[in-house]
Amino acid sequence: MLPKKSASAPGITKAEAVDVALCYGWIDGQLDKYNGQYWLVRFTPRKARSKWSQVNKKRAMELLAEGRMRRSGVAQIDAAKTDGRWDAAYAPASSAKVPPDLQDALDANPEAAKFFATLKGANRYAILYRIGSVKRPETRARKIADYIAMLERGETIHG
What is the mean pLDDT of the segment spanning 52-73?
Answer: 98
pLDDT tops 80 at residue 11: yes
Q: Which residue has the higher pLDDT, 1 or 139?
A: 139
Got the DSSP string for 56-77? HHHHHHHHHHTT---HHHHHHH
Q: Can you tell me the distance from the alpha carbon of 36 to that of 49, in angstroms, rounded to the nearest whole number?
A: 35
pTM above 0.85, yes or no: no
The alpha carbon torsion through 23, 19, 127, 96 (nearest 10 deg) reads: -110
> What pLDDT was estimated at residue 87?
94
Nearest to 86 by CA among 46, 132, 47, 50: 50
When pLDDT is averaged across residues 5-33 and rounded to a whole number, the result is 92
pLDDT band at 152 (very low <50, low <70, confident <90, very high): very high
pLDDT at position 123 is 95
Q: How far apart are CA 11 and CA 105, in angstroms?
A: 47
Q: What is the pLDDT of residues 76-131, one digit of tens each?
A: 999 999 999 999 999 898 888 999 999 999 999 999 999 999 999 899 999 999 99
**Distance from C-alpha of 56 to C-alpha of 20, rounded to nearest angstrom:** 12
